[in-house]
Amino acid sequence: MHLYIAYKNYSSWSLRTWIAMKVANIPFEETILPFYHGDSLDKLGERFAIPAQVPVLEHDGAIVWDSLAIMEHLAEVYPDRQLWPESASLRTLARCVSSEMHSGFMNLRQACPMNCRSNKRLSKEQLALIQGDLERIAALWAKFEAVDKPEGDFLCGQFGIVDAMYAPVMWRVLGYGLDVSPAFNNWAKAMKALPEMQEWLAAAQQEEWVLDEYEACAETV
Ligand SMILES: N[C@@H](CCC(=O)N[C@@H](CS)C(=O)NCC(=O)O)C(=O)O
């Protein structure tokens, strides 16, 4: 398997698939395509006739693009890794909440681009704009608290796709000093402590690329 991703410091969609594969112990090679620095991602898109976006997975001659499709593919190829929970009702909840991340939370995504190595603070106006998204995340975490599920620190007990989908939200909440809920804080602590997340952070900290538009969106503290 070969995973194409972009900047570890900034590329939230790359992190989602990468962390899912690492925590599930799925072996893969990776290539970083820094799309603001050269045309390597455009060339990949042209080569496979797909959008010039990461992540992209190459597996046994198949090209799989878009983070959620990649993770569905992995769940099918590796059923024993339980990327989706075993319980049908928990699986439905995990799928809905993963899809909601995929298509929603636009204000949070725009105001707080993922930036693993910086601490920033938003203006009052920006905070007001994302308040609804933060409240929605708190409500989703409360839903997971209220259902029957296996033991564990993650949304469905064991780490799975739904946790991977919200991994960049962990960096946003910590990095911009946002307030969601105590349940979210417990989950974020477990996410950050994952050795695989620390591996990602170490690589992000070593990257030399700096994207001005991601840095200028809020004040660094
Ligand atoms: N819905 C897509 C979004 C992918 C996406 O927007 N990727 C960004 C990087 S985080 C990208 O490749 N941007 C390239 C560009 O805008 O040129 C997915 O889930 O994979």
* Whether 116 and 201 share a structural domain: yes
| Cα(163)–Cα(178) distance, integer angstroms | 18
State residue 217's pLDDT score: 86
Q: Which domain CATH number covers 55?
A: 3.40.30.10
What's the whole-number average pLDDT of the chain?
A: 97
Residue 102 Cα, ligand 1 centroid: separation in angstroms? 11
Q: Which atom of ligand 1 is nearest to the CA of 65?
A: 20
What six digits make up the tokens of 86?
A: 């075993």
* Whether 64 and 101 share a structural domain: no
- Pick the closest to residue 8 from 40, 41, 33 (CA basis): 33
Q: What are 59-98's pLDDT values in tens digits?
A: 999 999 999 999 999 999 999 999 999 999 999 999 999 9
Q: Are 108 and 175 in contact (CB under 8 A)?
A: no
State residue 219's pLDDT score: 87
Q: What are 138-159's pLDDT values in tens digits?
A: 999 999 999 999 999 999 999 9
Tell me which residue has its CA closest to atom 13 in ligand 1. 53
What six digits make up the tokens of 184?
A: 């979210």
* Whether 76 and 95 share a structural domain: no
State residue 216's pLDDT score: 87
Q: How many domains does the chain have?
A: 2
Q: With cut-offs at 50, 70 and 90, classify the pLDDT of residue 117.
A: very high
**Helix or strand holding residue 74 (H, E):** helix 67-77
State residue 84's pLDDT score: 98
- Pick the closest to residue 25 from 194, 205, 201, 204 (CA basis): 194
Q: Is the pLDDT of residue 114 over 90?
A: yes
* Whether 54 and 101 share a structural domain: no
Residue 52 Cα, ligand 1 centroid: separation in angstroms? 8
Residues pairing with 208 in the sheet: none
* Whether 54 and 69 share a structural domain: yes
| Cα(92)–Cα(191) distance, integer angstroms | 22
What six digits make up the tokens of 98?
A: 């993963």
Ligand 1: residue of 13, 17, 43 to mutate (most ligand atoms within 8 A of CB) is: 13
| Cα(58)–Cα(77) distance, integer angstroms | 13
* Whether 193 and 110 share a structural domain: yes
Q: Which domain holds residue 161?
A: 88-205
Mean pLDDT of the region 102-111: 97
Backbone φ, ψ for residue 65 (5° rounding): -120, 160
State residue 105's pLDDT score: 98
Asked, for residue 211, whether it belongs to a domain, the answer is no
Q: Are 197 and 114 in contact (CB under 8 A)?
A: no
Please give all residues whose beta carbon lies within 6 A of any atom in ligand 1, as ranges.
6, 11-14, 35, 52-55, 66-68, 102
Asked, for residue 212, whether it belongs to a domain, the answer is no
Q: What are 18-63's pLDDT values in tens digits?
A: 999 999 999 999 999 999 999 999 999 999 999 999 999 999 999 9
Mean pLDDT of the region 163-172: 98
* Whether 17 and 52 share a structural domain: yes
Q: What percentage of residues in the chain have a pLDDT greater than 90?
A: 96
Strands 2-5 and 29-32: parallel
Last residue in a domain, options 81, 110, 137:
81
